[in-house]
Amino acid sequence: MTAPNHNWRNFKNAFMQALTFVCAILVVTPLVLVFYHLTKQGFSSLNWAFFTQIPKAVGEKGGGMANAIVGTFILIGQAALLGVPIGVLGGVYLSEYGGTKLNWAIRFAADILNGVPSITWGIVVYALMVVPMHTFSALAGGVVLGMMMIPLVMRTTEEVLQLVPAGYREAAFALGIAKWRTIVQIVVRTALKGIVTGVLLALARVAGETAPLLFTAFGNLGWAHSLREPIAAMPLLIYNYATSPYDDWHRQAWAGALVLIFLVLFINIGVRFLTRDRFGTIQAKVLRNYHVPN
């Protein structure tokens, strides 16, 4: 018996490993490039005025995006008020209650909604709110972002609740704990970190939406004085500035994009840190490792 020749097999193995490594690097490359480019182009325009002043008139130098920064917070705040309770409770229903067929239909509908182009959402809310109110408004902007959040939050909530081992539910039921208490105090509590993460991802996603806001919040070069007025938002202002012919506005658009991406980043890091309860890390480990023998 001759010694088997491993060279070809080893080569294939090394080749496939290298290929997957290159693809993994390709996945993170855009992130690095985006950060590099935004920092390079936008950092120099970040100054005190950028955060404290509203846009100057066309042709005037300086000014800032204070109204758009505040506007974005108001919009995602409204979106959270609408999207988080409905999304989380809907996810709880899908995971803990409901019949197989009904849940299949709801899940299917939510997945379709998650794939609806964001501009479509904008048109829908335009027809539902802007036309009857005869004005673009912060309210309409909040509603459109909230509606986009609902299916996202619902599906992520459902999925993390499904990760909670059935053994915990059984243990609670066997103690004579009522079903709703089991859901709130055992199931949701065990999965809380995952639910919060899902909510944050949804918030981060809608915080950068531009198209639906074009038809709803519309944008505003000054301050909005009520939710019934058009309101500025960072993605809208970045869009307007970037497509304008002025160099100064281009620089501000870069700076705005930089701030927006850091905003999204900081929301994530910050709230994750806050929601780390005393058992957080161990809990995550348990959720990953838990499996019943047989």
Partner 1 sequence: MSPTETPSPVVNGSKSTGTPALAIRNLSIFFGKNAAVKNVSLNVAACAVTAIIGPSGCGKSTFLRALNRMHELNPEARMEGEIKLFGDDIYSRNVEPVVVRRRVGMVFQKSNPFPTMSIAENVTVGLRLNGVRDKKTLTERTEQSLRMSALWDEVKDRLHAPAISLSGGQQQRLCIARALAVQPEVLLMDEPASALDPLATSKIEDLILQLKKEYTIVIVTHNMQQAARVSDFTAFFYLGELVEFDATTKIFTSPSQKQTEDYVTGRFG
Name the site residues for partner 1 (rule: CB under 8 A): 165, 167-178, 181-182, 185-186, 189-190, 192, 277-279, 282-283, 286-287, 292-293
CB of 238 to partner 1, least distance (A): 41
Closest CA relative to residue 214, chosen from 239, 246, 245, 242: 239
Query: Cβ closer to partner 1: 2 or 100?
Result: 100
Q: Which amino acid is it at 90?
A: G
Backbone angles phi, psi at 239, to 5 degrees: -60, -50
Query: Cβ closer to partner 1: 6 or 278?
Result: 278
CB of 268 to partner 1, least distance (A): 22
b/e string for 243-266 if b means 16 or more Cβ within 10 A? eeeeebbbbbbbbbbbbbbebbee
Closest CA relative to residue 275, chosen from 202, 193, 156, 199: 193
Query: Cβ closer to partner 1: 28 or 166?
Result: 166
Query: Cβ closer to partner 1: 191 or 199?
Result: 191
Write down how long the chain is. Answer: 294
Query: Cβ closer to partner 1: 88 or 164?
Result: 164
CB of 10 to partner 1, least distance (A): 41
In DSSP notation, 198-249 reads HHHHHHHHHHT--HHHHTTTB--SS---STTS-B--HHHHHHHHHTSS-HHH
CB of 165 to partner 1, least distance (A): 7
CB of 280 to partner 1, least distance (A): 9
